[in-house]
Amino acid sequence: GERYQLAFGHTRKAAYNLLNSLGTSDEYKFMPLYIMDLTDEKMAIAAFEENEKRRELNPVDRALAVQKMLIDFGWTQEAVAEKLHIDRSGVSNMLRMLRLPEDVLQTVAEGILPVRSALALLPIFELGNDDRYKLFEKFGDPYYEFISLAKKGEINSDTIRARVEEY
């Protein structure tokens, strides 16, 4: 009647389930487990690490998971970096990336726009709507085309940085 939550070993569990479904042996009917008490914090860390191993997190999902840990557990960026074995600057960049508009984040999540290019666009999207409109008025269609191509991942980050600096 007790319930347990799998913290890690999802791939191993899937392999046991597959082998058991083949019905070739009772050897794979039960998977050996190590049951341990985990705090919510340790469970979050274990889940993050498991997803990293399975490469199931896209950059936006990773950033949202880090942001959730900051909020839920009151951790600092330094604490997150230490607990997840990520560079402190990496944590900062993940959180900066989340300030981008949803449509840009979607292209990052889909693997169309690299994180580096998305971060290069950030200064433009941190401007207010009025200031972005002024850029459009000053530079016209080439500005709009640049933003469109950059959001589609058709311009590399160095070109984006140079154009953003120009604007």
**Angle at the Cα of 32 (from 30 to 33), degrees rounded to 5?**
120
Tokens of 65: 């998971």
Lookup result for tokens 């290069």: 120
Whole-angstrom distance, CA of residue 72 vs CA of residue 42: 12
Give the tens place of pLDDT for each residue, 79-129. Answer: 999 999 899 999 999 999 999 999 999 999 999 999 999 999 999 989 888
Prediction pTM value: 0.74
Q: How confident is the model at residue 54 (pLDDT cuts 50, 70, 90)?
A: low
